[in-house]
Chain A
Amino acid sequence: MIKTAMVLAAALALTGCAHAPSTAYHWDGYQKNVYTYLKQDAANPAELLQSMNVEADAARKAGRPLPPGYRAHIAMLMVQLGQYDDASKQLEAEKTAFPESTPYMDFLLKQMQGKKS
């Protein structure tokens, strides 16, 4: 009982107000995924891509927006697996969701065009 009360008190302190989602975006394991990728210790693009896709589906079902860069990170993993067409679609989707990314996404799309041919 006391333990439960302490956990609840801690949760209260951490969440402040309980209502409204506390973040603007659906983050879940995204930061850890990027961290694993950047560390490059046993980073397996297929595994990382799979968890990114699972969480993107969960976000869609919950009607929560994906954070900036999420789709672009997916695209990069796809490129490493040779899935160029799907990667292009993800880069385009990043542009649509965040027009601020347009110059860089176009730079990457152009670069990928070169890789494919």
Chain B
Amino acid sequence: MMRLLSAISGAASGARVKAALVISAAMMLSACATPKAPYDYTAFKAARPASILILPPINESPDVKATPGVMASTVFPLAEAGYYVFPVSLVDETFKQNGLTAAEDIHNVAPDKLRSIFGADAALYMRVKRYGSTYYVINSETVVTVEGKIVDLRTGATLWQGTASASSAEGGNSGGGGLAGALVGALVKQVMNTASESGFTYAALANQRLLGAPRVNGMLYGPRSPMYQKD
């Protein structure tokens, strides 16, 4: 890393380079800006789910791509945090084959019924509050806002909930330094898409902020992570 840094400063010493370095340093440090009241993890720690069933998200935005965009990009943060995540495409098919096509109806299925089919410890219930692009006179903004709730399917208890947003207007803030920053870098590389699909890219970022570990008041690491029970 030091070698890279000196390579950069050796390459040129213009003000623009300095600015780029300052911005990148800010990006690495910006994760822990505002202290929040600590989340009560008592129920989560008592339940310690190993597997999570992602249900089709309820879409409150006018964009029909919100449900597939958010559902497809929810697997990454939870799997990387150490959970087994059920294959969302197959889960979607299973619901359809049982006559359940609306996310609202799926969210109303009893937890023990879900557990009897999928054998999941917990389920993720999501709502997409905002999704997609707004066009202004000189530019456009893509925003995705998601809400998520983890429910223990064995007891019906809510273990955790949170909300997160990502926007094209926030500049270089990738939302995390260190390990989380590395994850976000890997994530962005995979989901970068054509301009018409920018909603998917920001869905992935919003989901990483909502469900990735470690986050302030975020999800705890799952059993497949080397950080399990150390957070």
Q: Chain B residues near A82: list those with CB within 8 A.
A: none
Decide: A37 and B89 in contact? CB cutoff 8 A: yes
Could you say which of B37-45, B72-80, B140-148 contacts chain A? B72-80
Query: What's the least CB distance linking B15 to chain A, in Å?
Result: 10
Per DSSP, chain B at the interface is helix
Whether B71 sits at the interface, judged by CB under 8 Å, is yes
Partner of B185, one of A11, A30, A94: A11
Q: Chain A residues near B4: list those with CB within 8 A.
A: 8, 12, 18
Determine the distance from Cα of A32 to Cα of B69 in the docked complex, in whole angstroms: 9
Interface residues of B in 67-94 (CB under 8 A from A): 67-69, 71-73, 75-76, 79-80, 82-90, 92-94
On whether A104 and B93 interact (CB within 8 A), knowing A32-B193, A38-B88, A68-B85, the answer reads no
Whether B119 sits at the interface, judged by CB under 8 Å, is yes
Determine the distance from Cα of A99 to Cα of B113 in the docked complex, in whole angstroms: 20
On whether A5 and B11 interact (CB within 8 A), knowing A32-B193, A102-B119, the answer reads yes
Given contacts A9-B23, A69-B89, 8 further A-B contacts (CB under 8 A): A12-B24, A13-B181, A23-B186, A32-B193, A38-B71, A38-B72, A68-B84, A100-B51
